[in-house]
Amino acid sequence: MNITPNVHAMIVAAGRGSRFGASIAKQYTMLQGQTLLQHSVARLASSTYIDRCLLVVAADDSTAQTLNFALPIHYAMGGAERWQSVQAGVKAIIEAGADDSDLVVIHDAARPAVPSHDIEEVIEAAMLEPYGAILATPVADTLKESYPQSTAQSELVGETPVVNLTVSSSPHSYAKCTIDRRHMWQAQTPQVFRLGQLQKVLTYVAEHELTITDEASAFECLDLPIRIVTGSRQNIKLTYPDDAILLAAIINAQFCSEQTKNN
């Protein structure tokens, strides 16, 4: 295992972000005068290990190549699913001459506020692992499992007779039980993997038609250990419109902090 591998960066920007509900692809949302994608590339550029970036974009994307980025950029065409876009990026990196033991740093275009030290820490952790490492934060809130029900009935007991209260004819969610959160983590990006190993697990996903939500879950399907590195809660993902307000505040605070350090 090569513990001083070359590091390749990839941002997956081929999706549209349906939950965000905007008319433009989510990665081109403007924050503090730049697109989300430009901010995310700039965060990777702050790492001492990263000097270029592969953007995986949709076939009909006409925006990315019109933007200025903080790193030299190369492009690959994405697929219908996220894992297919990552697979296309991995293929492009390998075809460019990368070694199987090299590391690939995969970041979401929608995470424009990941702190520089988190990027460094997860890369350095992955250098010591045979498969890779990811950023994640421990779950802080109480977790509830829910069940759907079209009507809710409430029994009033005591001096008042028992009655049935119909709340609504439309489905609602109700608390079923509380989940033990002691070993629960919220996955973030960057996620960093050995290039050859990532190619193998993505091939396995394709051959078995599996559904995965991030690259680490592909390794989990094969019981391959991926190290968890505790990340910052600043590294939130733009998923819903309200997230933009918080992200703008975080990016502004990070900028002010960096300016103070430089003066």
DSSP 157: -
34 strand-pairing partners: 31
The reported pTM is 0.87
Q: What is the pLDDT of residue 256?
A: 86
Contact of 134 with 227, CB cutoff 8 Å? yes
Instruction: Give the total residue count for the chain.
Output: 263
Residue ranges of the chain with per-residue pLDDT less than 50:
18-21, 152, 154-157, 162-163
Cα 131 from Cα 94, distance rounded (Å): 17
Contact of 40 with 49, CB cutoff 8 Å? no
Q: What is the pLDDT of residue 85?
A: 95
DSSP 171: -
Q: What is the pLDDT of residue 155?
A: 47
Q: What is the pLDDT of residue 172?
A: 85
Q: What is the pLDDT of residue 231?
A: 97
Contact of 244 with 250, CB cutoff 8 Å? no
Q: Which residue has the tokens 């939500």?
A: 213
Q: What is the pLDDT of residue 171?
A: 77
Q: What is the pLDDT of residue 154?
A: 46
